[in-house]
Chains A and B, each alone.
Chain A
Amino acid sequence: DAGVIQSPRHEVTEMGQEVTLRCKPISGHDYLFWYRQTMMRGLELLIYFNNNVPIDDSGMPEDRFSAKMPNASFSTLKIQPSEPRDSAVYFCASNHDSYGYTFGSGTRLTVV
């Protein structure tokens, strides 16, 4: 079991550019979550999916953010256009039952 795999680990981009973060959940996990971590706001849930369907996207900050899960083994979080305030660590997590949520290593995004 390779765990939840996120890419890239680090991303530096210029303001206004499009950024795509990727996540591969653990095989067999039917829930996938995207979180954002900042010093000011802590860990915030952005969106989560069940069986590839978005269930709750109330945490998505604004229309610049979008997330997709085209199949059970892949999800993307896209920011277009990116802004400096989007700089954060973005975590993906997956889950099968309600007891074990496994997090990826995170993507550290810096928008300059």
Chain B
Amino acid sequence: AQKITQTQPGMFVQEKEAVTLDCTYDTSDPSYGLFWYKQPSSGEMIFLIYQGSYDQQNATEGRYSLNFQKARKSANLVISASQLGDSAMYFCAMREGVGSSASKIIFGSGTRLSIRP
């Protein structure tokens, strides 16, 4: 069965500092995808970044990067140069299977990130 674990319920970070949000996962499927979503106080779910299990390099999207350590089954999100607008809930998610056979994604419990000015 799939499982996503986010062990940090909340984090406080000073503006402009880098922050790492932890995510570990458990799956027996060799093919899977990992996602990070941001949910600001307004409530919408915003896709940030994706990493496939066979991707050779860590995914990057602007200030977001995913520190993918396959052997450790971890997929930590790194936000560089944090901004006040980064304050939100962050969810790690996983989908088993890749390619056109999309299937359900399951979410971790989330980490609430607060950026201090």
**A residues apposed to B, CB below 8 Å:** 31, 33, 42-43, 45, 48, 50, 55-56, 89, 91, 93, 95-103, 105-106, 108
The smallest C-beta distance from A106 to any residue of chain B, in angstroms, reads 6
**B residues apposed to A, CB below 8 Å:** 33, 35, 37, 43-45, 47, 50, 52, 91, 95, 97-110
Q: Which residues of A contact B101 (CB under 8 A)?
A: 98
Mostly, the B contact residues are loop
Q: Which of A48, A93, A101 has the most CB of B within 10 A?
A: A101
Q: Which of A43, A95, A103 contacts B102 (CB 8 A)?
A: A95
Contact A106 B35, CB 8 Å, known A45-B106, A98-B100: no
Q: Which residues of B contact A102 (CB under 8 A)?
A: 47
Q: Is B43 a contact of A43 with CB atoms below 8 Å?
A: no
Q: Is B45 a contact of A97 with CB atoms below 8 Å?
A: no
